[in-house]
Structure 1
């Protein structure tokens, strides 16, 4: 497969996770087409980069385990449904062992995001946020949820260089 085609297929991942983060922070929603696009783009990317079937199977296993964990977090009210789907779709691209970095950075990013939002939601900063765009005012609203898709995107982008997919790209592996 020509390297340009491989690069385009790999480029889908960072673009879609960044779009997911931007949508989540501005609308508190992550459209299903983003997670679906990540899942659908994975197989052609993996095949184009020549990943062995065993590796592809392991990646699907990691994605399935992440989906179960994300569904549990959703059921407990810790994350939203869009966050759960994005987490699982990103984990599919991560595979083993990059998923460990993904989980750690996502958790750390979520904690920092939460602390930042707590600061933004103080009386002093809420007034400043209210003169900005509507989405910033919503972020500053006490009791509003955390757009965890941002933390998921940060974790995914941080772990992406460790993935079998990126390592299989000519000249990077």
Structure 2
């Protein structure tokens, strides 16, 4: 029975980052509730998977370092506040070495997202996009921001398979 509860708790992570990406893509906001849920559920996941205390401390340190990096990027105007909070909450869950995979995958996904938006915002495609849903037309608006939560979610999903929490789930599978 405990294995099903552990699996459900661990699966909350990808579900929540996907929700954040969808919300960011459609509204350019990431609700604080999503990042707060990630923070609140992590201790339960660590407990259910019997993550050793030094590992939990390492996860917390990586999450804190990601929060500082996110705050710096926010201060520089590179990302929004919701992006910074989501970045830190995801890093908390992923730990080490998945945190490095998360960082690299997020950077690559961010570059791909930016290239896609540049293409979408081109004078050739924009007229076709404007007849679509309002949120999609907003993505194509020149000068609009980049919903970086999409890249953060892609990076998190790419790093999940190598995270210590997924390794902790293996004995239950």
Q: Normalising by the residue count of structure 2, what TM-score does the alignment of the two structures yield? A: 0.98
RMSD between superposed Cα atoms in Å: 1.1
Q: Does 1:69 align with 2:87?
A: no
1:115 Cα deviation after fit: 0.5
8 Å CA contact 2:113–2:151 kept in 1: the answer is yes
Partner of 2:21: 21
The 1-side partners of 2:154 and 2:170 are apart by 25
8 Å CA contact 1:9–1:44 kept in 2: the answer is yes
The 1-side partners of 2:157 and 2:170 are apart by 20
The 1-side partners of 2:129 and 2:172 are apart by 42
Runs of 4+ in 1 over 2 A off after TM superposition: 170-173
1:75 Cα deviation after fit: 0.3
8 Å CA contact 2:3–2:172 kept in 1: the answer is no
Q: Once the two structures are superposed, what CA deviation does each residue of 1:91-138 show, in whole Å capped at 9, x if it has no partner?
A: 000101110000000000000100100000011111111111000000
1:15 Cα deviation after fit: 0.4
The aligned length equals 173
Q: Does 1:126 align with 2:117?
A: no
1:172 Cα deviation after fit: 7.4
Q: Once the two structures are superposed, what CA deviation does each residue of 1:60-107 show, in whole Å capped at 9, x if it has no partner?
A: 000000000000000000000000000000000010111000000000
8 Å CA contact 1:3–1:170 kept in 2: the answer is no
Partner of 1:99: 99
- Aligned counterparts, 1:80-99, within 5 A: 80-99=80-99
The 2-side partners of 1:19 and 1:42 are apart by 17
Q: Once the two structures are superposed, what CA deviation does each residue of 1:43-63 show, in whole Å capped at 9, x if it has no partner?
A: 000100000011001100000
Flag structure 2 segments of 5+ consecutive residues without an equivalent.
none
1:170 Cα deviation after fit: 3.3
Tell me, what secondary structure is at the counterpart of 2:144?
Answer: coil
Tell me, what secondary structure is at the counterpart of 2:143?
Answer: coil
